[in-house]
Amino acid sequence: MNHRLTKILAVAALLAATFLGGAFAQKLVIESWRTDDLKLWKDVIIPAFNKHYPDIEVVFAPTAPAEYNAVLDSKLQAGTAGDLITCRPFGKSLELFNKGHLAPLDDLPGMENFTDFAKVAWTTDDGATTYCVPMASVIHGFLYNKDLFAKYGFQPPKTYEEFMELLAQMKKKAPALAPLVMGTKDQWEAATMGWHNIAPNYYGGEAGRRAFLAGKEGFHTDGFLEAYKALAQWAPYLPRGYKAVSYSDAQQLFTQGRGFIYPAGSWDIGVFRQMNPKLNMGAFKAPPPAGATKSYISDHQDIALGLNPASKNPEAAKKFLSWLTTREFAELYGNALPGFFPLHNYDITISDPVANEFLSWRQTSEGTFRMTYYKLSDQKPDAETDLWTASVNILNGKMQPEEAAKWMECRLASWYGPHKHFASELNCK
Amino acid sequence: MRRKPFPWHITVFLAPAVIVYTVFMIYPMLASLKFSLYQTVEEGRQVFVGLGNYAKLLTDPIWNEPFWNAFWNNVVFFVIHMTLQNPIGLFLAVLLAANIRGAWIYRTIIFTPTILSVVLIGFAWKLILSPTWGIWFPLLDRLGLGDNEVAIALLGNESSALITLSLISVWQNIGIPMMLFLAALIRIPHELIEAAQVDGAGSWRIFWRIQFPLIVPTVGIVAILTFIGNFNAFDLIYATQGALAGPDFSTDIMGTFFFRTFFGFQLRPGDPNMGATVAGMMLLIILAGVLLYLYGWQRRMEEVQF
């Protein structure tokens, strides 16, 4: 009898050992909207992490981008959300932190590998607490077709004036090709690839943005107004029928070689490599106006990872988050997704030459993020959606730059405290 | 006198419809109306504000500007359907009722777009009119209109986008009035038309004196169906122009306005309470139209029914 019991126990122990040996001791689930990156996480990132921590199982479980916010909210409320949460920049993540759905991460080992600018999109307004580990930003600039440039003997412009001159030359020498490939139908490109792309050079990057937040500047003053005026000059150089050209139409036009210059977000690089691997692309940054001493680029924090305080494996989750701060992850991620640039302090090399060109601008220009994303879109009417409308109206010839700037400022001044004084100065109704 | 036993079998037959209708239509509608009387103050906490949301929607410039814009765009959308879709549908029905050869082929072809998915229709028309690959550009060049600002960007100009979308919708939905009119026309006793022919009446006269008066009830039904369909429309605009219903909200109708309000857009989270308020206004508008039809039209029609 005793003998049999020992036998049973031995078998049970053996079975348990096999199960535990086969499975991981701890399991982490990542919530994300990056459905496109599922394969990358499964085949590259998670195996690389498991080399250091073989006993932590990581599952990447993305939801479609358009549904992510809503799905995440309901999962968090129901207590079924994963251990790690991919953070949207600015308002959305701050809201989650304030509701207690994101844990503070200031003490996380490795956080010193990020500058304050890298962390700003996931830090409280007073700068005291950071609640997500920055992963990547996207940079704006211009892509151009190198073969077409060589054929007509064009050089990338250094100043905005040269840029406009170049566009005029293109229109004259190659009337069948579009000098600047962008449409206004989907609306966001006009604001994102247009205004946000070139405006930092006019309002002076971070300093200008802070002056704006403090109410010293408005959309209708100085550099901000100049940016609208600069954007308005694009209209004659956009493709034929640009008012009905959508984002994907513009991508097609450029990759098929039917236009010279494409106002881009860095994420387009990876897309274009797939759409037309033979396309010979080059890149230049948003050209500053002549005589400017400094140049600025839009370097927009886009994606980060935070810790769900309700996680059952917070220690394992923190190990994973710490690993995200390493050089190894930065190089892995930056190279797997050309156009998504790690926000770490390290000097990393990206193998894609065009993506590397974008990254090199961080050395020569001061970065700033899309200024309407922070605070200015917290209430209705939000500055970002208004910027879409205003930029499209300027390019479509419906509004003059001054008119658009005043319209936006009046709408913002209707609710944003520090700008209230502009409402009376501008005689807003 | 013995009372008749309660007719239980009627309850049994009614029950499935009553239950399904209550659970999936009446309850959500009432819940949504109730929702429009509240405002969310913080996570999960709702306070009763009475008709405050409706007052805000109609008086606050941030809300009433887009609301009236969407309303008037919707009126234009409806008027185009009433003046084009229904008369043309009637015209086609009369032709088909006249026993022309191969009528069933025409009937099938004209009805086909109606059964296609709106997403497909929207996508197909976007491709046709697309400046990059569409067949629209070569066509314009042939016609010498290649430089016309409006014609080259039909969906991108404020002056043309709403009309273009209305026409696409007319093209898609014309099969429905056509079928309804056709069914009514076929029901007209043949002797009436033959007698008129013997009396020497031409087709034009037969139509106005015999056919049209006899299908007037159907005209009313088609009108009210068009009205309800148009003020509930959303999908075609969303599929071709996106939730912002551009350019500059010139194609924004009640459905897209509701969508943005309820579900939010880009950086703005949705406001379910205001969304329910917009839905409440849509219900009110449609209710007003239907009541007008029932009391102003249907009642008079009962006298001419045959």
CATH of the domain at B106: 1.10.3720.10
CB of A69 within 8 Å of a chain B CB? The answer is: yes
* In-domain check, residue B222: yes
How many domains would you assign to chain B? 1
Q: How confident is the model at residue A16 (pLDDT cuts 50, 70, 90)?
A: low
* In-domain check, residue B168: yes
Number of A:B CB contacts under 8 A? Answer: 99
Strands B45-48 and B38-42: antiparallel
Residue B297 has what pLDDT? 80
What percentage of chain A exceeds 70 in pLDDT? 94
C-alpha distance from residue A61 to each of A35, A81, A219, A330, A334 (Å):
8, 10, 41, 21, 21
Has residue A20 got a pLDDT over 50? no
* In-domain check, residue B126: no
**Who has greater pLDDT, A309 or A8?**
A309
* In-domain check, residue B99: yes
Q: How confident is the model at residue A22 (pLDDT cuts 50, 70, 90)?
A: very low
Q: What is the pLDDT of residues A219-229, one digit of tens each?
A: 999 999 999 99
Please give the mean pLDDT across all residues of chain B.
90
Has residue A1 got a pLDDT over 50? no
Residue B98 has what pLDDT? 84
Domain that residue B58 falls in: 46-115+160-301
Is there a contact between A301 and A362 (Cβ–Cβ < 8 Å)? no
Cβ distance B268 to A241 less than 8 Å, yes or no, reads: no
Cβ distance A241 to B43 less than 8 Å, yes or no, reads: no
What percentage of chain B exceeds 70 in pLDDT? 97
Q: Which of A187, A240, A381 sits opposite B246 (nearest CB)?
A: A187
Is there a contact between A195 and A391 (Cβ–Cβ < 8 Å)? yes
Per CATH, A2-136+300-368 and A139-299+371-425 having the same topology is answered yes
Give the mean model confidence (pLDDT) for residues A233-261. 93
Q: What is the pLDDT of residues A371-380, one digit of tens each?
A: 999 889 888 8
* In-domain check, residue B236: yes
* In-domain check, residue B199: yes
What CA–CA distance (Å, rounded) separates A223 from A234?
A: 17
Q: Which of A185, A384, A389 sits opposite B156 (nearest CB)?
A: A185
Amino acid at site A291: G
Q: What is the pLDDT of residues B98-111, one digit of tens each?
A: 878 888 899 999 99
Has residue A18 got a pLDDT over 70? no
Please give the mean pLDDT across all residues of chain A.
90
Is there a contact between A89 and A300 (Cβ–Cβ < 8 Å)? yes
CB of A403 within 8 Å of a chain B CB? The answer is: no
Q: Within its chain, how far is the Cα of B225 from the centroid?
A: 7
* Residues 109 through 168 of chain A touching chain B, CB cutoff 8 Å: none
Q: What is the pLDDT of residues B29-42, one digit of tens each?
A: 999 999 999 998 86
Q: What is the pLDDT of residues A179-206, one digit of tens each?
A: 999 999 989 999 999 999 999 999 999 9
Nearest CA in chain A to B137: A241
Residue B43 has what pLDDT? 63
Give the mean model confidence (pLDDT) for residues A143-164. 95
Q: How confident is the model at residue A21 (pLDDT cuts 50, 70, 90)?
A: very low
Cβ distance A185 to B130 less than 8 Å, yes or no, reads: no
* In-domain check, residue B22: no
Chain A residues with CB under 8 Å of B152 CB are 240-241, 244
Rg (CA), chain A: 25
Has residue A15 got a pLDDT over 70? no
Has residue A78 got a pLDDT over 90? no
Q: How confident is the model at residue B265 (pLDDT cuts 50, 70, 90)?
A: confident
Has residue B69 got a pLDDT over 90? yes
With 0-12 / 13-18 / 19 or more C-beta atoms within 10 angstroms meaning exposed / middle / buried, residue A344 is: buried
Residue A429 has what pLDDT? 76
Residue B134 has what pLDDT? 80
Nearest to B31 by CA among B272, B271, B193: B272
Cβ distance B156 to A242 less than 8 Å, yes or no, reads: yes
Least confident of A67-76, B81-90, B155-164: A67-76
CATH class (in words) of the domain with range A139-299+371-425: alpha beta
* In-domain check, residue B66: yes
Q: Which of B62, B153, B267 sits opposite A377 (nearest CB)?
A: B267
Question: Domain extents for chain A?
Answer: 2-136+300-368, 139-299+371-425
In CATH terms, A2-136+300-368 corresponds, of 3.10.580.10, 3.60.70.12, 3.40.190.10, 3.30.70.1050, to: 3.40.190.10
Is there a contact between A269 and A335 (Cβ–Cβ < 8 Å)? no
Q: How confident is the model at residue A61 (pLDDT cuts 50, 70, 90)?
A: very high
This model of the complex carries an ipTM of: 0.85
Q: How confident is the model at residue B147 (pLDDT cuts 50, 70, 90)?
A: confident
Chain A residues with CB under 8 Å of B271 CB are 380
